[in-house]
Amino acid sequence: MELAKAAARDIAGRVEKACTGATGSARAAEIALEPTSDLAAASRGALGADWERLSVQQRDRFSHAFKRLMRARYLGRLKRCGPLQLLVGEASPRGAAVIVRARLEHAEGSADELGLVLADSGDGPRIVDVYLGDVSVMRNYRSSFRKSIRTRGFDGLMEDLERAIAKATPDDR
């Protein structure tokens, strides 16, 4: 658990550095996001049981689009975040993962309570989910994606993802 807390502190430093001055470049988003997140595991988690029903090509296509969505949304937040501080709290085991409580304090005085779910897939602890309060971001994605697949199939899901990416991508890339 100490390793997970150390990883969370590293993540906090990267996020704070990326938001200082908040220029919000795509490269700054990648520098902060890529080494701290396991986007492959997050892609699988975002689809849940539907992942197993996809072909290898569909999994690759979905994973690529999901990573683009995460980058676009992260970049959008980065452009708005301004100086902030991510305070790392207690860590507790959660199955094969560890959840690290954190508090994201914004310069204007507001704060968000987070739960960073870290798992080790061989490269050290990396984020596989984030709780905003008590709500899992991946569970929300899974629910939304499941609905898209059930009503419109895989191609419909991909259309929805492309729309979400376009909406999340800042105009001044």
Kindly report, residue by residue over 112-152, the tens digit of the pLDDT: 888 888 888 787 788 888 898 889 989 999 999 999 999 99
Q: Per-domain residue ranges for the chain?
A: 2-168
For residue 106, the number of C-alpha atoms closer than 13 Å in the C-beta half-sphere is: 12
- What fold is seen in the domain 2-168? Nuclear Transport Factor 2; Chain: A, (3.10.450)
Model confidence at 19: pLDDT above 70: no
CA 106 to centroid of chain Cα atoms: 19
The whole-model pTM stands at 0.77
- 148, 126, 30, 34: which is closest to 140 by C-alpha? 148
